[in-house]
A and B are shown apart, each in its own frame.
Chain A
Amino acid sequence: MSAEKKKELQVAAIENGTVIDHIPPARLFKVASLLGLEKMEGNTITIGNNLYSQKVGNKGMIKISDKFFKEEEINRIALVAPNVVLNVIKDYEVVEKKKVALPDVIKGLVKCNNPKCITNNEPMPTVFEVVDKVNGTIKCHYCERKIKKDDIIIK
């Protein structure tokens, strides 16, 4: 088997589903829990970590059969692993490669770090504006507190 073919198989070894690639190893399990993998029944899930990649060094990878993600589910990952690549697999072929990107506005996903923020004291969804897509800094629409990527608390 050619090296290229082998490489392709490693990525595309599911018939239909999603392969999430280039996950930073330290964020792998966070990504898994954000996607709710532990609650997924009936889908075959393969998780690999510390896999060698020429491009990015070590990386994590998750393969989920028969699962295609919606936009807002993908946005969840962008918060903790902004450079992840999603491969959509149909009939063993990669039919689409999606780069996850932070949206301009994040609704209801993140908890505000400010205990005196109205969103932590009233039954209401949070709203954050992404003020720095490169560094992943977000700003609460209500109390105006800025939160850096590493301090983001997912609800």
Chain B
Amino acid sequence: MEEIHKKSAGDFFILYLFLNFVYIERNTKSCMKNKSLVSIDQCSKEDILRILDNAGEFEKNPNRRLLEGKVAATLFFEPSTRTRLSFETAVNRLGGRVIGFQDASTTSSSKGETLKDTILMVSNYADLIIMRHYLEGAARYASEVTDIPIINAGDGANQHPSQTMLDLYSIRKTQGKLEDLTITMVGDLKYGRTVHSLIVGMSHFNPTFHFVAPNELRMPDEQKTFCDERGIKYYEHTDFTEDVINETDILYMTRVQRERFTDLEEYERVKNVYILKNEMLENSRDNLKILHPLPRVNEISYDVDDNPKAYYIQQARNGLYAREAIICEVLGINV
């Protein structure tokens, strides 16, 4: 009896040591590398290329049961049907299950629950959280309060890294490379978070930028300083002309929204200046492709849609492959 008692105590001690070891291992791991994807600037060149390579594998075969038995939570504190459907399709095609909500008004956060409590509650159930929030910094904070990976699907006007990843995927796919490309960004360059993140994402690949925008919506100094510090060439224009288009590889169009203007007369003056029409593409490069984060309003005329250089619809489909690759990346699943 005494003997048995002793033995089991010893076993418990070994178990205790083992659990401690697991605990420490887990902690060091999360200190060394946070597996959440909160912002594109946390990705090195190698990270980007690996995720894009994996996205290419998912384009060849989107249906792979790599998430078998796993649960992903999609927490949309702010509704975004397009992004949510893309992420949920990605989880489903990987064989995982989805829980979540699509509107904060139906959740406990509308009853005053803190974000921290919501995240910790969901962490009890899910292996991964994909979240969109109207508050800026929400995803970073969430990644600090939980041990499970967070994918930022947009935090206010701040970051939306899966959009950048699908933009990069679209650029590489259509150009065959990311290096040494000339990218022209048109429209709202002041508030457009997609163009700011694309600058960061492309900064590893020696790009040349043309920034085409009305004065009120010019590229902010912060992004221009970022380019200066890295020796990235950029040119600013207020006129959207064929001259610029003709030396461009990627034409990245964005919405010019009325509510962004303090001076409505300026809006009336410029609202039709930044519209792409098919005839403007006549002498453009053969490899030119037109991208747009969608939804568009009127900044691309419908006669452009039939031009083979229009790529914005396929671009959205690439979002599925990029998101499958991102999900596997943060979960540490080899593709």
Contacts and interface: CB of A to CB of B under 8 A. Distances in A.
A144 B40 CA distance: 13
A92 B135 CA distance: 53
A117 B141 CA distance: 11
Given A114-B136, A118-B136, A143 B156 contact: yes
Main secondary structure of the interface of A (DSSP, over half): loop
Given A122-B115, A144-B158, A117 B135 contact: yes
B116 A144 contact: no
B152 to A, nearest CB: 12
Q: What interface size band does chain B fall in?
A: 10 to 19
B134 interface: yes
A123 B145 CA distance: 13
A142 B116 contact: no
B137 interface: yes
A122 B114 contact: yes
Contacts of A142: 136-138, 140-141
A117 B136 contact: yes
B116 A118 contact: no
A140 B39 CA distance: 14
Contacts of A116: 134-136, 156-157
Nearest to B137: A142
Interface in A22-64: none
Nearest to B115: A122
Interface of B: 39, 114-116, 133-138, 140-141, 155-159, 222
Interface of A: 114, 116-119, 121-124, 140-146
19 contacts: A114-B136, A116-B134, A116-B136, A116-B157, A117-B135, A118-B133, A118-B138, A118-B141, A119-B137, A121-B135, A122-B114, A122-B135, A122-B141, A123-B114, A124-B141, A142-B141, A143-B155, A143-B156, A143-B158
